[in-house]
Amino acid sequence: MSNFIKKAMEQKLSRKAFLGWSAALTTAAVVPSYGLKQIDSKAAAEQLEEEGKWVTASCWHNCGGRCLNKAFVVGGIVTKQKTDDTHKDSPDYPQQRGCARGRSQRHQVFGADRIKYPMKRKHWEPGGGKKELRGRDEWVRISWDEALDLVAEELKRVKSKYGNESILGTSRLINHYGGGLVRWGSSSSGAWGKPQEHMTGFFSWSANDRMDWRNAKLIVMWGSNPAWSSAGSPTYNLLQAKKAGAKFIFVDPQISPSMKTLGDQYIPCRPGTDAALLIGMAYHMIENNLQDQDFLNRCTVGFDKDHMPEGADPNENFKDYVLGTYDGIAKTPEWASEICGTNPAVIRDFAQQIATTKPMIFTSSFAPARTYRGQQFCQAFLTVGWMTGNVGKSGAGVWTNNYASNQSYGGKTLVRGGGRGLPPVFNPLFPSVTYGAYDGYRFGKPKNTDFHGMAYTETYDAILNNEYHATVRGKVPCDIRMIWLIRDGSGYNYLNQSSGIMKGIKAFRKVDAVFTNDIALSTISKYADIVLPATTEWEKEGMIKSGNPEAIIVTKKVIEPLFEARTEEWMDRELAKRIGLNPDEVYPINEKQQLFNSLAGAQVIKADGNDYEALVTITAKDIKNWGVDGKPQKGKISLEELVEKGSFQVPRSPNDNFTVIQGEAFVKDPIANPLTTKSGKLEIHCQSLSDDIAAYGFTTIPPIAKYEPPVEGVEDTYKDWNKKIKGDYPFQLYTIHYARRSHSVFDNVPQLREAFPQEFVMNKRDANELGLKDGDTVLIESRHGKVIRPLFVTETMMPGVVTLGEGAWVEIDEETGIDKAGATNTLCGTHLSGQGEEPWNTTNVRVEKYKGKALLPDAEWQQRIIF
């Protein structure tokens, strides 16, 4: 420990003051609330450089990227961070560099708003107490024993009196205790799951290897903004394709940062209308005979009446729908333009380019499918992409982004961690092995009946109305008494991140108990009854992190747990004792053994590109030093070197054996290499998709791509669509991944609040018509809630469309019902759709100048600090 830190400790600084003091060492700026004098930053920095050490400290959040961060640790305090410098950077072998979010991690871990000890809501008592005070009550510090006893006794009471079906939430502990109701559905990937499953057999989840992207002449990025949504390497990788000669076209309601970085052409499209734009493009292609008919005949079913799947009505083919053969409506670019807002000439030119430029990559993000009945976009996107024949060829492909891997990587997984060795514990009330819950690809088997739980967007209605849709069973009764969020790292801040926050608050104020663990008072913890202080990943034994197929990152404990924070495993074990379970059965192996297992089981691809071998060399001495069970083995890198280095990345070159062309064998011989779809081919007409969506009981879709107006789409912004008379909610709101946050994570970091203010973005013409100017505080109101935000006026947004970054921590004014933080889910409604997707990007709002006091910048707001 340095003399500086020893001196500080001897002076008996409070923990809060000490953290503020330590952060100041690297900035020479002291937060005024700490009441400290400025110190000699130069002398402090010199001493710290001598006595600190760098430790691998991965960013652990779900942004889609996976980057390497390292923390400089001095006496248990992280004073600065850096990113990947483990090897020389090059386009073929890029460093895994962190973004602004990841590089601010220490401000999250050492934030003054860390939950420091167990807390209980002052007016909560077993059975509920004053439920109406959730979210605005005082907090009382309690001991760990008291907190655990209260949680355990309430858990036993609720189970005994109402049964496990009255518990909403699951964890390893709850599953051992009989299970709980599950919230299921689709969030990030929107409506993509079922179309992928039935139309492609998951064929289009996968992309060509990133080295092959450099062979493309044209790359279409539909609704994609990796520069913000998957910050890190994806945009850099795409830049290499641009440098190799690819033209980039971006389709989006706004000119995004990715468009500004990579784009050659911008195509505007209103939210929720993408299917119309695509169908209008298909018309131009068919009208001019530009489709790849040979590919469609050999590799697809359903394009025209002569190539329909067995048993289908020949008149229900895509070509005749587009031409209007039977319904009398030709889906011309002019027809599409009225809906999507894209100029007909632009639609024709766009269709001409994708049909005649080969090879072409046609790729979409998840965002356009996060809409009401979003399957229609997925159907249209795949169909039009397949019409070009750009499948199974070098520099070509039709696929959707799967986080970072398909936003710039694709291909094989070159290195992967092993399993942690904990045996799975299935939830008795939601047996995912038979229901087929979302596992990264599948989105449930709605015709099965052995499950208990509701779609994400029905959670609050289920609590308030005591019933929910159980797919083919119809509505079933429920009596939810407890919301359980003491989790093993698998939970998320869903009160903030699911649609209908205002309805959610009412639901939270109805149940008997809400229990959470957290590192700060996030939205879901603010409305809880007992909050347990959790460790961050920096305070745990460590784990292997993966996010792209070419690298893994190995983290280890950076610091000891701060204050009274404990791991989720520790909490579960202590609670298990109190509810009559054996903690050694809940967790049969400890956290260090789990980390060791994942390292020992790590594999790396061989140079031939086919087989895998052990990554890590482990000696008998390693096993003894770690104090774990294991066997010696030989690999590519020693255990000590891997843990010290913190990452392993497979070097790439254009001539290596790792390049993959997805679907190559299928396209060459579809009969010999069938897909897993019902027909064995790509299904443009897909009755199984239509049947599966209908089985959920929310919405229906036809078996081919059609445009049907969504709830709260552009048509609902009008009182009279035909006469174009605007209605009460004249703007379309779509919600973007924002550079300030990874979903809701990091929103409490002041530095990021200052760098990326939560502004409401509107077209300049729209603002002028409303008498609004840049910087005004505006009131945004939907059918579901209202927020206030500072206005940012720009020419880069489509008229009639507005946006907010998703994830701001809701801050409700109880008197007015206004959310001052601008959480998008205050505005988004809980519409049931398709396979349970969240339809965030079909929301209508109205905007006016706020008559109250102008908002302070978010960076100046008081943090949620509980002393």
**pLDDT tens string 599-644:** 999 999 999 999 999 999 999 999 999 999 999 999 999 999 999 9
Mean model confidence pLDDT for the chain: 91
Of 315, 289, 284, 286, the residue nearest 302 (C-alpha): 315
Which residues are paired to 186 by β-bridges? Answer: 837
pTM reported for the whole predicted model: 0.93
Contact 150, 573 (CB under 8 A): no
Would you call 799 helix, strand, or coil by DSSP? coil
CA distance 747 to 758: 10
> Does 22 score more than 80 pLDDT?
no
For residue 25, pLDDT beyond 70: no
Quote the pLDDT of residue 399: 93
| Tokens encoding 867 | 């002393």
Q: What is the pLDDT of residue 510?
A: 98
Q: What is the pLDDT of residue 21?
A: 36
pLDDT of residue 448: 85
Q: What is the pLDDT of residues 763-817, one digit of tens each?
A: 999 999 999 999 999 999 999 999 999 999 999 999 999 999 999 999 999 999 9
Q: Among the listed ranges 12-26, 214-228, 309-323, 663-677, which one has the minimum average pLDDT value?
A: 12-26
304-309 CB contacts, 8 Å cutoff, 24+ apart: 308/685, 309/678, 309/679, 309/683, 309/685, 309/686, 309/687
Q: Is the pLDDT of residue 553 over 70?
A: yes
User: First and final CA of the chain: distance in angstroms?
Assistant: 27
Tell me the pLDDT band of 99, cut-offs 50, 70 and 90: confident
Per-residue pLDDT, averaged over 99-126, amounts to 94
Judged against a pLDDT cut of 80, whether residue 842 lies above it is answered with yes
What is the Cα–Cα distance from 479 to 9, expressed in whole angstroms? 52
Q: What is the mean pLDDT of residues 270-276?
A: 98
pLDDT given at position 437: 44
Q: Where are the beta strands (DSSP E) in 158-288?
A: 167-168, 182-184, 218-222, 247-252, 265-268
pLDDT at 435 over 70: no
pLDDT at residue number 41: 58
Q: Is the dihedral of CA 136, 138, 143, 145 positive or negative?
A: negative
Mean pLDDT of 64-80: 87
Q: How many of the other CB atoms lie within 10 Å of CB of 382?
A: 29
Summarize pLDDT for 413-430 with one digit per residue, the tens: 999 999 999 999 989 998
Q: What is the DSSP letter of 186?
A: B
CA dihedral 767, 849, 228, 199 (to 10 degrees): -80
Return the amino acid letter for 262: L
Which pLDDT does position 98 carry in this prediction? Answer: 86
- CB atoms closer than 10 angstroms to residue 371: 32
d(CA 508, CA 495): 9
pLDDT at position 60 is 79
Q: What is the mean pLDDT of residues 93-109?
A: 90
- At position 573, the amino acid (one-letter code) is R
Complete DSSP assignment for 570-622 = HHHHHHHHHTT--HHHH-SS-HHHHHHHHHHT-EEE-TTSS-EEE-EEB-HHH
**Higher-pLDDT residue of 202, 668:** 668
Q: What angle do CA 147, 489, 415 make, to 5 degrees?
A: 155
pLDDT digits (tens, 9 = 90+) for 661-676: 999 999 999 999 999 9
3 state SS of 74: strand
The rounded percent of the chain whose pLDDT value lies above 90 is 81
Q: Is the pLDDT of residue 525 over 90?
A: yes
548 band by pLDDT with thresholds 50, 70 and 90: confident
Closest among 98, 832, 6, 33 to 456, alpha carbons compared: 832
Helix, strand, coil percentages (3-state) for the chain, rounded to 5, are 35, 20, 50
pLDDT for residue 1 is more than 90 = no
Q: In what order do the strands lie in the sheet with 513-518?
A: 139-141, 119-121, 530-533, 513-518, 482-485, 167-168
Domains along the chain? 3-109 (no CATH), 119-183+416-649 (3.40.50.740), 193-412+663-696 (3.40.228.10), 714-860 (2.40.40.20)
Per-residue confidence at 443, pLDDT binned at 50, 70, 90? Answer: low
Measure Cα distances from 198 to 193, 228, 388, 487 in Å. 9, 31, 20, 33
* pLDDT of 514 over the 50 cut: yes
Residue with tokens 């011309």: 332
> Residues 715-745: pLDDT tens digits?
999 999 999 999 999 999 999 999 999 889 9
pLDDT computed for residue 206 by the predictor: 85
For residues 375 and 514, is the Cβ–Cβ distance under 8 A?
no
At residue 724, the pLDDT reads 94
pLDDT at site 44? 59
**What phi, psi does 238 have (nearest 5°)?**
-65, -35
- Taking the CB of residue 72, how many other CB atoms lie within 10 A of it? 20
User: How much is the average pLDDT of 159-166?
Assistant: 98
Euclidean distance between CA atoms 853 and 841, whole angstroms? 29
Strand 139-141 vs strand 167-168: parallel, antiparallel, or unpaired?
A: unpaired
pLDDT tier at 556 (50, 70, 90 boundaries)? confident
Which of 297, 319, 295, 479 lies closest to 392 in space, CA to CA? 295
Over the stretch 334-354, which tens digit does the pLDDT of each residue have? 999 999 999 999 999 999 999
pLDDT digits (tens, 9 = 90+) for 171-194: 999 999 999 999 998 888 899 999
Residue 361 reports pLDDT greater than 80: yes
Q: Does residue 822 have a pLDDT over 90?
A: yes
Q: Which pLDDT band holds residue 408 (cuts at 50, 70, 90)?
A: confident
Q: Quick one: average pLDDT of 209-235?
A: 92
CA–CA distances in Å: residue 717 to residues 339, 605, 688, 767: 12, 53, 33, 17
High-pLDDT (> 70) share of the chain, %: 92
Predicted local distance difference test score (pLDDT) of residue 11: 33
**ω before 359 within 30° of 0 (cis)?**
yes
